Structure formats: structure tokens, C-alpha cells
Structure 1
Amino acid sequence: MASTDRYPRQAATLALAHALSAAERGLAVIPLSRTKLPALRSPHRDDPVPAGPPCHGECGRLGHGVYDASTDPARIRELFGAAPWATGYGIACGLPPHHLIGVDLDIKSDTDSAASLRALALRHRFTVPPTIIVLTPSGGRHLWLTGPPDVVVPNSAGRLAPGIDIRGAGGYLVGPGSRTAHGVYATAPGTARLAPAPCPRSLLRLLLPPPRPHRSGGAVSTAGDAHGRGLVQFVLAAHEGQRNTRLFWAACRAFEDGIGPELTEDLIAAAVRTGLTAREARGTLASAARMTTHRLTTHRLTRDAPGAPDAPDAPDTPG
């Protein structure tokens, strides 16, 4: 029995060691299983569907995926201790100090993602700087870049170009040294000692959702107008028990109106004043960005479908 148990124990020990090493560089980590998914199951998997935003760890239990990510060695050991079957680790994107952005160049038979990235760089006049590159077992590559602290880059799959996925706020990258069912992730030669490079401005613009016209009057809204200030005040008026819900609602309205990126820091500052941590607030904003993007896309598809009725959207009200 000891011989059959040795390999899983060694893999878990190596995964923890790699995760602790990454944390020393300021990268928040979580344990992953051999399927590349978070190793700990959600403590809310059997709960009824919540009326408000999903729990991001406010309950105090483990199992909230990327929202469990930490740079604290004691916390990391606790996470891996609760998941002794973990064989890898994930690195949370979008968190300080690096505000990591992952460019995932997938390898598929009908797609040359590297050529697509080169074409984008030529068309939009940017150069991908020397940075950390992680080689995946399938032959793909993960490019690590850093973003500005006041910008929330959403996750996307194939939106930038076929075969190119983006890991942003609320997402994670499989860390080098992780062992999965398909093989081991490894740092490309010559890049292990590099720091993640700043994302070129032209590329960063491509990663952000385009601003949407304001629904009243057609003018583009800005973070400094009455609407933006009203959303910030709405968050500031939150009492205990409704802080996260109010922040989520305000963030959804901001992203719907195209002022989410500009209003991000104001909303975070307001949420911190009500008692949330900056990390909790950023997680809620990332969820709002993802949900709003999905909802707007679904609405457009439904609206543009043949025979779709021309009915106005139902008004949103805070929960």
C-alpha cells in the first residue's frame, strides 16, 4: 500500500512547494486537482440558488475557488492540507501587486494562435515584451503580463482571436510545476527569472469591453457624471449585511453603462469604507463584469434573432 500511495504524496508535496515559491513572488495561489480545476469543492454546492451575488468566502469556509487564493504561507498550507489530492496550483489573476493577465495561446489543429497574436501585434502596432512563458502539456503557451491597478480585465475565450483565451480578474493560470492528467506545466527556458512584463497599451485596449452608449440621450457616460457619483453613493449607504449586494448591483449598472473600468477604483474605495476588504470588492467587481458581459451578449442574440419581439428591458432594482 505504501508504494501505491507514494506518488500522490510526492505530487502533493511538490505542488505545495511550487505554490509557496510562487507566493514568495507575490502571486496568490490555490490548490488544483489533476483536472486543472480547484481541488476543493464549493461548500455551497447543495445550497438553494441564492437571491443575491454568490459567496466569495464571506462564510469563512474553504472551497471558493480563485477567491480562496492567498500569498500567506499559513493559509496556503491550510488549503493544501484540506486537499491532499492536489497535484498542482492555480495563480489568481487581477490581484495586487502584479494584477496578472494571462494570454493563453492554445494549440488546435485548425488554429495557429501564435500567428494570430503576431498578426494582432502588427495590425495594432505593439510588441509583446520579454516575460514569463509557461509551456502547457498540449504544446500551448501561457504569456504572463501585468495590468494597471485601476483596470479590470475580464476573462474571455476566443474573443481576441481564435485560439487565444484571456485570463483576467476572477480567473487563474495553472502554475509551472503543476502536474495534471495530461502532463506537467513548465516554465519556458530563459523566462523563469523574468518578472511579468507590463501589458502593451494597444493590447490592453483590445482586452477591455468596448464602452457602451448611455441609454439616455446616446452620449457616452463618464465616471465623473451624476450617474457614476450616484452609484458610488449607493454603495456608501450600505449597512452590514447588504454591502456586497449593493456593490454587486452598482458594479453591474456601471459595466452595463460602459463606465465600469473608469468607476472601478471609486467603487472599491466606497466598499472599503463600508467594511469590505479591497480584495473582496475586486472579486465582486470581477463577478459583475463577467455576469454583465454574459447577460448583454445573451440579450443581443435574443434581440437579433428572427422574430424576436421589440420589447424594452425590464428595469433593474437593487436587491
Structure 2
Amino acid sequence: MATHDRHIATLALAHALSAAERGLPVIPLSPTKLPALPTPHRDESEPSACRGECGRPGHGVHDATTDPAAVRALFAAAPWATGYGIACGRPPHHLIGVDLDTKSSTDSLAALQHLALRHLFTLPPTVTVLTPSGGRHLWLTGPPDTVVPNSASRLAPGIDIRGAGGYLVGPGSVTAHGAYRLAPGTADLPLAPCPRALLRLIAPPARPHHPASPHPPQGQGLIHFVLAAHEGQRNTRLFWAACRAYENGIGDTLAPALTTAALRTGLTEREARATIASAARMTARPHPTGDA
């Protein structure tokens, strides 16, 4: 490893340990912003639903930890890591990330401010991370009894939410597109609680309790179908599974889990989202009647 690369890897570990000391669970990330460690189940004939129960690293956000020794072990297993991810929705902070994407055709910050005016809440000063593309991540804390799901542009174009099962790229990380850094004046701010009105917009209403799997049987099957994909068939399998999900009325519910499964097979988040969105559009089209 070149001296420059070793320096970046050393800084990534140092930043990750600093975040872990603040109670933020972390994992090492590659320059592509994906978890640096591959799944240990990639060579198994049957798809695995393991989330780390096997005791081996390589389960993405499920590896996230605040234990310094465990953090060092994860980075030692991934010396190519140039950054770190912070798991959202985990105690003690139950972190919620508001991702404002400047590449959207609309001004996502202005859209968020418009939502604040419309729903009568104020965006509190909080830790803010600037992304290489010019976007920003606002860090908020959530109540322990509320599960906030991941969503993409559901609030408004260019506003993504990182919640349970998701992660944020930590400040000090270096990616293929540049470095993530803290916005001036926000480094020493405490994590602000998510305004209640905003929480109502991003958290789904409570559903009746069902002790079974969080997804219906056909949903679990579709997730496993995506996880079993090999290189060259990942997009095709994801598109097929997403189409079946939308046709069965569970597309929006299953989309975050399908995205996570696609990330574990090696697709980027942008590719996974685009494929699922394409499936949603395809299945929403009226079927031809055969009339001329």
C-alpha cells in the first residue's frame, strides 16, 4: 500500500474511533462509499439472511460498533478502507440523517425550508456534514420508540432520509469523489432532536403488531432472490424482484430491503434506486388492451 493510501486509511480509522467514542456505531467504507468488507456468505449455495450472527465481519451496517477494539479489528480486516459509515437508528442517539442532494433539479434545502414553514417546525442547529458534490447531511436524533425508515425523495426531490438499517458517510472520510467534512461552526454542536412535525413526516404510522417476519413470505423470497445474484445478473434480478413486489402491492414497503440486498451484491445505491424506480414505473403503466 502506498504511503498516501496508508495515511488516508490511518486517518479514516482515527475519525471512526472518535465517532465511536461519541456513541456512534461505525463500519469501514471503501472509496465507493460501500461497506469495505465483503459478505462472508458470498460463496454459499443458498442465500443467507445472516446479520452477523455467524460471528464473522462482512454484514454491512450490521457490523457497526462503538467498541474501540472491534472498530480496530474491522479496519485491520479492511486496510483499503478510506472512510467510515455511521449506522443510523441505533442507540444511544438513534441517529437520523437528512441528506440534501444538490444534484437534484430542485433546491433541496429550499424544499426542506418550505416543508418547515408548511408544517410549522424549525430546523434546529445541529451537526452538518458537507459532501464532495456540494450536498449536506443534517444529523438529528430520534426517540427510541420510533423506527424511521430510509427513503429517497419521498419528502421532496433531492431530500433523502437515512434511518434504521442505513448509514451516513462520516466526516473525514475520503471517497472516489472527494472528502466529507464538517460544516464550519457545527463540529461542537450537540445532536439536535428531530422536530416532532418532521418526525411525523418521515416515520410511518404505527401498524398492527404481527409477530411474524417484518416482510410477507413473498417479500422474503424476493429479497433472497436478489441476494443470490452473481455479477452480470444483479440488475436483472433486482428489476425482476422489484417488479414482482410492486405487482403484489408491497413495492414501497419492500424497496428499502431490496436496496440493502442489492448493495450487498455489489450494486451502488444509485444503481439500485434507479432500477427499483424503473420497476415501479414499469408496473404502474396500464397494460395494453389489444385494441388498435
TM-score range, shorter chain: 0.7 to 0.9
Identity value in percent: 68
Tell me the equivalent position of 2:135: 140
Tell me the equivalent position of 2:29: 32
Describe the shift of the 1:302–1:111 C-alpha distance in structure 2 as closer, same or farther (beyond 3 A).
closer
Superposed counterparts of 1:183-222, under 5 Å? 183-210=178-205
Superposed counterparts of 1:6-85, under 5 Å? 6-50=3-47, 54-85=49-80
Tell me the equivalent position of 2:241: none
For residues 18 and 104 of structure 2, the distance between their equivalents in structure 1, rounded to whole angstroms, comes to 35
For residues 11 and 153 of structure 2, the distance between their equivalents in structure 1, rounded to whole angstroms, comes to 32
1:203-250 Cα shifts (integer Å, max 9, x gaps) = 011102356xxxxxxxxxx65xxxx3xx44xxxxxxxxxxxxx5xx1x
Corresponding residue to 1:178 among 173, 176, 180: 173
For residues 300 and 107 of structure 1, the distance between their equivalents in structure 2, rounded to whole angstroms, comes to 24
Superposed displacement of residue 306, structure 1 = 2.4
1:175-210 Cα shifts (integer Å, max 9, x gaps) = 000111111111011110112110001101110235
2:88–2:162 contact (8 Å) kept in structure 1: yes
For residues 177 and 300 of structure 1, the distance between their equivalents in structure 2, rounded to whole angstroms, comes to 36
Give 2:68's aligned amino acid: P
For residues 303 and 37 of structure 1, the distance between their equivalents in structure 2, rounded to whole angstroms, comes to 29
Superposed displacement of residue 109, structure 1 = 5.8
Superposed displacement of residue 46, structure 1 = 2.6
Superposed displacement of residue 305, structure 1 = 4.5
1:154–1:290 contact (8 Å) kept in structure 2: no
1:15–1:87 contact (8 Å) kept in structure 2: yes
Superposed counterparts of 1:188-267, under 5 Å? 188-210=183-205, 223=208, 228=209, 231-232=210-211, 246=212, 249=213, 251-252=214-215
2:126–2:138 contact (8 Å) kept in structure 1: yes
Query: Rg larger in 1 or in 2?
Result: 1
Give the TM-score of the pair, scaled to structure 1: 0.68
Q: How many residues align?
A: 238
For residues 128 and 152 of structure 2, the distance between their equivalents in structure 1, rounded to whole angstroms, comes to 19
Deviates most, 37-46 or 141-150: 37-46
Superposed displacement of residue 59, structure 1 = 1.1
Q: Where does the alignment leave 5 or more consecutive residues of structure 2 unmatched?
A: 220-249, 258-275
Describe the shift of the 1:290–1:83 C-alpha distance in structure 2 as closer, same or farther (beyond 3 A).
farther
For residues 158 and 109 of structure 1, the distance between their equivalents in structure 2, rounded to whole angstroms, comes to 10
1:15-66 Cα shifts (integer Å, max 9, x gaps) = 000000000100000001111111111112232343xx72100111110010
2:125–2:192 contact (8 Å) kept in structure 1: yes
Superposed displacement of residue 303, structure 1 = 7.7
For residues 252 and 100 of structure 1, the distance between their equivalents in structure 2, rounded to whole angstroms, comes to 24
Give 1:252's aligned amino acid: H
Corresponding residue to 1:121 among 93, 116, 119: 116
1:155–1:290 contact (8 Å) kept in structure 2: no
2:215–2:254 contact (8 Å) kept in structure 1: no
Tell me the equivalent position of 1:306: 286
Deviates most, 299-308 or 4-13: 299-308
2:104–2:158 contact (8 Å) kept in structure 1: no
Give 1:168's aligned amino acid: G
Tell me the equivalent position of 1:243: none
Superposed displacement of residue 117, structure 1 = 0.4
Describe the shift of the 1:6–1:105 C-alpha distance in structure 2 as closer, same or farther (beyond 3 A).
same
Give 1:16's aligned amino acid: L
For residues 205 and 65 of structure 1, the distance between their equivalents in structure 2, rounded to whole angstroms, comes to 28
Superposed displacement of residue 104, structure 1 = 0.3
Give 1:139's aligned amino acid: G
Taking only aligned residues, the RMSD between alpha carbons, in angstroms, comes to 2.8
For residues 49 and 165 of structure 1, the distance between their equivalents in structure 2, rounded to whole angstroms, comes to 33
